[in-house]
């Protein structure tokens, strides 16, 4: 896989994943599962780490509007990690939203925010390194 292709794949995953997580978070608030304050806090906690790579990806897409991919090859391991970490982060956030939506005992708004904080903290460094490596 070339670096340009990898940037494109990660860009699509990050941008649309960030948008989807944001929309699902809003839906939790709209359908009254979260109060206004809880909904806003949840959105603010669910999006910062993903926003880092999504904004880097968006800047890359805008800067390379001609679609000329970077020709250098990247290793399979590098490509796998660069795609897997954002996908896993998005998946975990969506799973937490789903668990909250199921209204499980002892998994209310506070537990959702704590879990989101843990996931965001864990993935923060990895996503930051990927963003810096791919998008500068």
Q: Kindly list the domain boundaries of the chain, sorted by start residue.
A: 3-135
Residue 53 is predicted with a pLDDT of: 83
Q: What is the mean pLDDT of the chain?
A: 86
| pLDDT band at residue 124 using 50, 70 and 90 as cut-offs | confident
pLDDT higher than threshold 70 for residue 69: no
Over residues 91-120, mean pLDDT: 88
Residue 67 is predicted with a pLDDT of: 67
Tell me the pTM: 0.85
Q: Find where tokens 């941008």 sit.
A: 15
Residue 47 is predicted with a pLDDT of: 80
Over residues 61-72, mean pLDDT: 76
Q: Contact at 8 Å (CB) between 39 and 28?
A: yes
Residue 73 is predicted with a pLDDT of: 93
pLDDT higher than threshold 70 for residue 108: yes
- Pair of tokens at residue 42: 């949840």
Over residues 12-26, mean pLDDT: 89
Residue 136 is predicted with a pLDDT of: 78
Report pLDDT digits (tens) over 20-60: 988 888 888 777 677 778 888 888 888 888 888 888 888 88
Buried b / exposed e over 91-127, threshold 16 CB at 10 Å, is ebbbebbeebeeeeeeeebeebbebbeebbeebeebb
Please state, in angstroms and rounded to a whole number, the distance separating the CA atoms of residues 52 and 128. 7
């Amino acid at each position: 896989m070339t670096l340009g292709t990898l940037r494109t794949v990660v860009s699509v995953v990050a941008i649309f994943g960030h948008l989807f997580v944001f929309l699902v978070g809003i839906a939790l608030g709209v359908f009254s599962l979260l109060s206004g304050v809880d909904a806003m806090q949840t959105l603010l906690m669910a999006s910062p780490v993903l926003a880092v790579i999504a904004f880097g990806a968006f800047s890359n897409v805008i800067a390379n509007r001609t679609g000329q991919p970077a020709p250098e090859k990247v290793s399979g391991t590098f490509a796998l990690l660069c795609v897997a970490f954002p996908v896993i982060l998005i998946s975990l956030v969506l799973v937490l939203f789903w668990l909250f939506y199921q209204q499980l005992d002892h998994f209310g708004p506070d537990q959702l925010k704590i879990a989101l904080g843990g996931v965001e903290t864990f993935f923060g460094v990895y996503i930051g390194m990927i963003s810096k490596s791919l998008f500068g």
